[in-house]
Structure 1
């Protein structure tokens, strides 16, 4: 008796796409940690660290967003989950960019809005990474 295996084989995230996506988490988390350290110590260098970590998170997030847009254009039927994933990445990048503009101000002027935006950006990055890995996985079929 022959076994017919008609399971749907889903393409996962490319490993480089996974690295770019996962790289946003420690960078945005470090930015939040820098903001928290600045808000408790008022040492300007913590705000500078947060600014640089946000810039790194935007680079990684922007490349992951570009990859997600290309995947969305090339997608055949995965439009719903892929669209949600791309929109979360887009929201993360836009709010991260606004957060970088807030951090470009004087360190004292960037608080409390910079801290609030850092929390929101980190939560969006966590959500997009969760959806990216849970829904699509990494590598070949599952």
Structure 2
């Protein structure tokens, strides 16, 4: 299931970046809306992957550090995504160039 959630999360975050760049270069409002919706989807997939990593962290052998690193990377990605969603929640003209 981890691969499924990561396969959904990574392209959505890349799509957010590309939509933010398109909005930055054209100032067309719809690009910001696309980025906001894709960010919500990426955060949902990220949350589900983080839930799966918590389960694998509980079930893992205590000597292995890989599940903890995986969980921490997902946590950092989730926090950065939340911060990006706060930036996207601003007014359209106030969200650039920090949205990119």
TM class by smaller structure? over 0.9
Residue 96 of structure 1: CA displacement?
0.1
2:69 to 73, 79, 84: 84
**Corresponding position: 1:22 with 2:7:** yes
> Could you say which residue in structure 2 is the equivalent of 1:124?
none
Higher RCO (C-alpha 8 Å, min separation 6): 1
2:82 to 87, 90, 97: 97
1:36 to 15, 21, 32: 21
Residue 107 of structure 1: CA displacement?
1.6
Alignment CA distance shift 1:77-1:104 (3 Å): same
SS at match of 2:99: helix
Larger Rg: 1
Alignment CA distance shift 1:78-1:61 (3 Å): farther
Cα separation, 2, equivalents of 1:91 and 1:79: 20
Backbone CA RMSD of aligned residues: 1.1
Q: If the length of structure 2 is used for normalisation, what is the TM-score?
A: 0.94
Residue 110 of structure 1: CA displacement?
1.1
Q: If the length of structure 1 is used for normalisation, what is the TM-score?
A: 0.67
Alignment CA distance shift 1:58-1:44 (3 Å): same
What does residue range 115-134 of structure 1 map to in structure 2 within 5 Å?
A: 115=100
Runs (5+) with no aligned partner, structure 2 = none
Deviation above 6 Å: which 4+ runs of structure 1?
none
